[in-house]
Structure formats: structure tokens, C-alpha cells
Amino acid sequence: MITCVDHMLGMELLSPLGGRVPVPTHLLYRAQDPLLVELLFHDPVYGPIPWVVSRELLARGMPAPSGEGDIRVWPTGTGPRALLHILPAPPDGSAHLVAPLPALAHWLWRTYKLVPAPRKADALDLDGRLDRFLEGLT
């Protein structure tokens, strides 16, 4: 039985001066912890740096800005070049990451196939929203 959905994704760290640094990122979703997504940022010096994010926050941030606390997400662009911005605010500073939205959306859609949205999120039709978004990319 499949209990996790994982994927390697090429994210980028945006510098305040406008530069971009590639950040290979391992996305990991476990059915045992259905509300959370783990992002493991691979740093050549420090090794994997884990972040835990709400799966619902990522899903809500794909069509429109979402999040008010430690992590904010928002989309830019359309089609295959669309990006999802992820702004985590750790205790020692902040980081601005971007991910290819179509690849992230497809991976997230796979997590909802493994474990459907909880009852409280059913009214939001997150599966339907992700399906419509992915259909628009083809």
C-alpha cells in the first residue's frame, strides 16, 4: 500500500538583490500525517534543512495569496511558467523561495488522491480547484 508521495523539485531562493540560487528540494507527504507537507531543502554545507508546511496552505496559495503567520504563499504568472512564491519567516530571518507552480500543483494533486481533503476542507473543493488548474496547463 502506498503511504507517501514524494518528489524532487528545483526551487530557487531569491536574493534581496534580485539574484536566484537553485535549491534542490525534496517534497514529502505522508498519509500518517495528512495535514502536513515536509520540504527538505538540500544545502551542500548544512545538509537537508526541513520545513513543515500545511498542505491546505499550499493548496490555497496556488490560485490566490494565502497565509498570515510564519509562512505566506502566492502565485505569479500563468500556464507552464507560473511560479508559487513561498515566504517562510524562521526565527533568525526570512527566505523567499519560488517553485514551478505546475509541477508543485501536480505533486499536491497526487497527495489529495492518496488522502482526500478532511471534511472541513471539502466545502472548498480543493480537489476540483487543483483539477481545473491542471487542466488549464495542458
Question: DSSP states of 60-127 as a string?
Answer: HHTTS-B-SSSEEEEEES-GGG-EEEEEE--TT----EEEEHHHHHHHHHHHHHHSPPPHHHHTTTHH
Confidence tier at 125 by pLDDT (50, 70, 90) = low
Altogether, the residues listed in the chain come to a count of 138
If you ran DSSP here, which 8-state letter would residue 79 be given?
Answer: G
Instruction: List the domain boundaries for the chain.
Output: 4-137
Global pTM? 0.79
Q: Quick: pLDDT tens for 32-69.
A: 999 999 999 988 888 888 989 999 999 999 999 999 87
Can you name the residues that pair with 49 across neighbouring β-strands? Answer: 41
pLDDT in the model for residue 10: 94
Which of 27-36, 71-80, 115-124 shows the lowest mean pLDDT across its residues?
A: 115-124
Residue 107 and residue 9 in contact, taking contact as beta carbons nearer than 8 Å: yes
- Domain 4-137 matching CATH 2.30.31.20: the answer reads yes
Confidence tier at 2 by pLDDT (50, 70, 90) = confident
Residue 28 and residue 48 in contact, taking contact as beta carbons nearer than 8 Å: no
133 φ/ψ angles, rounded to the nearest 5 degrees: -65, -45
